[in-house]
Amino acid sequence: MPIRRLCIVGLFPLVFVLGLLGLAGCGSGLPTEQAPRLVVLVYFDQLRGDYLTRWDTLFSDGGFHRLEKEGAWFPNCHYPYADTWTAVGHTSTATGCPPRTHGIISNDWYDRAAGASVYCVSSERYLRVPPAPGSANGENARKKAQGVSPERLLAPTIGDALKQATGGKGRVVALSLKDRSAVLPAGRSPDVCYWFDAGAGLFVTSTYYRDRLHPWVAEFNRSGLITSWMGKQWMRLRPELDYEKYSGPDDAPGEGTQKFGRTFPHALGGGHTAKETQAYYEALYTSPFGNDLLLALVRRALEAEQLGKHEQADLLCVSFSSNDPIGHCWGPDSQEVLDVTLRSDRIVQELLACLDRQVGKGRYVLVLTADHGVCPLPEATRRRGMEARRINPTPLLQQASAFLCAAFHVPAEENRWVEAIEGPWLYLNRALLARHHLKQTEVETALASWLRQQPGIQEVYTRRQLVAGVTAEDAIGRSVWQSFFPERSGDLRILEKPYHLLTTKLTGTNHGTPHPYDTHVPLLVYGTGVRPGVRQEAVTPLAAAVILAQALGIPPPDKAEAKLPADLFRDR
């Protein structure tokens, strides 16, 4: 039920009492010099920084433009590290430090002790809540039932800093469609942490946090909203607009289909069978309606948890995930990405309006950013007359193994030189090196030298180089070093040339490099005490944790390295 709008006048104690009664409304809000009652960290997964200028004339006054004009806008915002992945971006912005410090080096990495790849938030100690059907039988069922936790996170987040500073009284709520995008910003002790299980079509949590759903989440799952787009189509938001003029053709080489078509309209499907229903849930996640669904959950959380109405200020972390699978499938120059960005503008407008109603204009601070950008489709880049290609790592590694066998006089059948590959990282087979009495540094050096000669490879960094440290003059090398965590990273890090993709896929695109199209993201700061204006100085999204701590009036997370942008806040 919407909170009544009241005109709040008088001293802070009166406001505080009304807040406890759940009656503190919005109107003109509190004086800007007072501390906010809620801080909000908003991500749009894969929202590249240049989209805000590229499509500036198409946005509404109440969405991105409101943040840009009434808040502080940092157009020159780049991640300082090389491995621009979802888990890394969410962790770095929430902790204020890079992967070499917080330890989340990727979505997945190879665990040498376990002899297997591990997922950044997976945990065998916990179970999904509610329990997955049939969770007792079989390995696949066990994995499906497995819960998640932030145990692999090695640095405190802004949520942890708030808990520490308030003796646990400040509430921390984290919501996303992706588990890692809720778990990692939330930190170790959030009050609410939920994500969308696209296999089952409901929002879930883990026994790390609680043993049963919050009643309001269980009610949300039963409400029918999750299936309300079943049988509908994703059509262009603005059919009168010339989408090709602002993006590209609707059907372009290199685009994927994501199982529901390369071109508009995209049918979300659905049906009576379990297979059809699951296909619908996956399509929902890969459409703008996934963001709409999450926004509805955010609205419900604001009401149910009475965020911004407690003795201590609260933190809300929200990550809108659907932009990412859309960008992966159709690429940044597609009409689909243009459309989801236009709809994201509306999401921002509706979120701000909701915060105005529920918390009060002038009573919150919001930081908006993204976890990474994205590379254009190689096919689109070639149409512009630039060099671009897809590099299949499978034959590349086969050729590399043959080279190493010849270089170190090892029998050809002993060809498993690389124990694992995760993204651009190669993990050498140390058992093979030991059997043949080979020094790892020599193998690293030889393989790196060979790889640098291969088409599409810009540079290769070895473990020995990264452990020794990279000079400040090598900007790319420094960004790779910022991503390097010795206990988890591989032995060689391959860096593709700009606009090249190291992938086995024949369509779609990816991110994960230090090239500007992957590192460039928005940073917008809006709300109580923020000095408005466009700031041209170079910043990193890691400043988000420090900005939110400053807004809350608490120390930043213990391992935060980012600096607070100068003159961002008015004196209180």
SS3 40: strand
* Region label for 150, one of left (φ > 0), alpha (ψ between -120 and 50) or beta (otherwise): alpha
| Average pLDDT of the residues in 27-48 | 77
- What CATH fold (topology level) applies to the domain 389-502? Gyrase A; domain 2 (3.30.1360)
Integer Cα distance of 363 and 367 in angstroms: 14
Integer Cα distance of 418 and 235 in angstroms: 46
Fold matches, 31-104+120-229+269-373+522-552 and 389-502: no
Integer Cα distance of 195 and 181 in angstroms: 8
Integer Cα distance of 493 and 462 in angstroms: 6
| Average pLDDT of the residues in 288-299 | 98
HEC profile for 202-245? EEEEECCCCCCCCHHHHHHHHCCCCCCCCCCEECCCCCCCCHHH
Paired tokens of 220: 């949300």
SS3 478: helix
User: Which stretches of 372-441 are assigned E, i.e. beta strand?
Assistant: 389-391, 418-422, 425-428
Q: What residues does each domain of the chain span?
A: 31-104+120-229+269-373+522-552, 389-502
Q: How many CB atoms lie within 10 A of CB 245?
A: 7
Q: How many CB atoms lie within 10 A of CB 520?
A: 20
Paired tokens of 572: 């209180």
The region of weakest confidence among 134-148, 412-426, 512-526 is 134-148
Q: Return the closest-CA partner of residue 158 out of 530, 562, 528.
A: 562
Q: For residue 357, what is the DSSP state?
A: I
Nearest-Å Rg of the Cα atoms of the chain is 24
Q: Using 50, 70 and 90 to split pLDDT, how confident is the model at 272?
A: confident
The C-alpha angle with vertex 415 and arms to 410 and 416, in degrees rounded to 5, equals: 125
Q: Using 50, 70 and 90 to split pLDDT, how confident is the model at 134?
A: low
Paired tokens of 12: 């802070």
pLDDT tens digit sequence for 339-367:
999 999 999 999 999 999 999 999 999 99
Integer Cα distance of 172 and 313 in angstroms: 10
Buried b (16+ CB within 10 A) or exposed e, 323-348: bbbbbbbbbbbbbbbbbbbbbbbbbb
The region of weakest confidence among 5-19, 26-40, 49-63 is 5-19
Place of tokens 């330890």: 103
Place of tokens 């290609």: 389
CB-CB contact of 528 with 66 (8 Å)? no
CB-CB contact of 203 with 195 (8 Å)? yes
CB-CB contact of 109 with 117 (8 Å)? yes
Q: Return the closest-CA partner of residue 368 out of 125, 40, 3, 123.
A: 40
Give me the chain's average pLDDT, please: 92
* Region label for 280, one of left (φ > 0), alpha (ψ between -120 and 50) or beta (otherwise): alpha
Q: Return the closest-CA partner of residue 512 out of 106, 45, 51, 103.
A: 106
Note if the pTM is more than 0.85: yes
Which amino acid is present at 295? L
Paired tokens of 112: 């040498």
| Average pLDDT of the residues in 404-427 | 96
Q: How many CB atoms lie within 10 A of CB 80?
A: 20
Torsion angle (degrees, nearest 10) of CA 474, 475, 480, 482: 110
Q: Using 50, 70 and 90 to split pLDDT, how confident is the model at 139?
A: very low
Paired tokens of 383: 């149409």
SS3 404: helix
- What CATH fold (topology level) applies to the domain 31-104+120-229+269-373+522-552? Alkaline Phosphatase, subunit A (3.40.720)
Distances (CA, A) of 539 to 319, 374, 524, 562: 21, 19, 11, 9
CB-CB contact of 43 with 63 (8 Å)? no
Q: Using 50, 70 and 90 to split pLDDT, how confident is the model at 33?
A: low
Q: Return the closest-CA partner of residue 213 out of 188, 221, 170.
A: 221
Integer Cα distance of 262 and 130 in angstroms: 35
pLDDT (0 to 100) of residue 132: 84
CB-CB contact of 206 with 311 (8 Å)? no
Paired tokens of 339: 């459309």
pLDDT tens digit sequence for 226-263:
999 999 999 999 999 999 999 999 999 999 987 788 99
User: Which stretches of 66-143 are assigned E, i.e. beta strand?
Assistant: 72-73, 108-111, 116-119, 122-129
Integer Cα distance of 61 and 471 in angstroms: 45
Q: How many CB atoms lie within 10 A of CB 151?
A: 14
- Is a pLDDT exceeding 60 seen at residue 28? no
Integer Cα distance of 354 and 111 in angstroms: 43
What residues have CB less than 8 Å from 332, skipping those under 6 apart? 48, 51, 373, 374, 375, 376, 377, 509, 517
pLDDT (0 to 100) of residue 146: 81
Chain-centre distance for alpha carbon 60: 24
SS3 15: helix
CB-CB contact of 523 with 42 (8 Å)? no
- Is a pLDDT exceeding 60 seen at residue 141? no
